[in-house]
Amino acid sequence: MKKTLRNTLIALVTFSSSAFAAGNAAAGDGNLLTALFVGFFTLIIVFQLVPAAIMLVGMLRGIFGRDSKQVTSH
């Protein structure tokens, strides 16, 4: 059992070392596309925050604002 576990760990470390060494080989590719991808979704979030902020201000004015209607009796 110990021998099998030891051999499995040795094989795992041996074969995964090349994958760790090649992990940063393509790190420089696609910088423009990555920036455009992140920027696009950032714009989506910002454009959703503007109407949400306007709605929040309107709700706060409705809750804490004074009632402009006054009841008059004839």
Separation of alpha carbons 11 and 62, rounded Å? 68
pLDDT digits (tens, 9 = 90+) for 1-51: 778 878 877 776 677 666 555 555 555 667 888 899 999 999 999 999 999
* Domain extents in the chain: 36-63
pTM above 0.75, yes or no: no
Residue 57 exposure: Cα atoms within 13 Å on the Cβ side: 5
* pLDDT above 90 (res 69): no
What local confidence, expressed as pLDDT, does residue 73 receive? 72
What local confidence, expressed as pLDDT, does residue 7 receive? 80
What local confidence, expressed as pLDDT, does residue 20 receive? 59
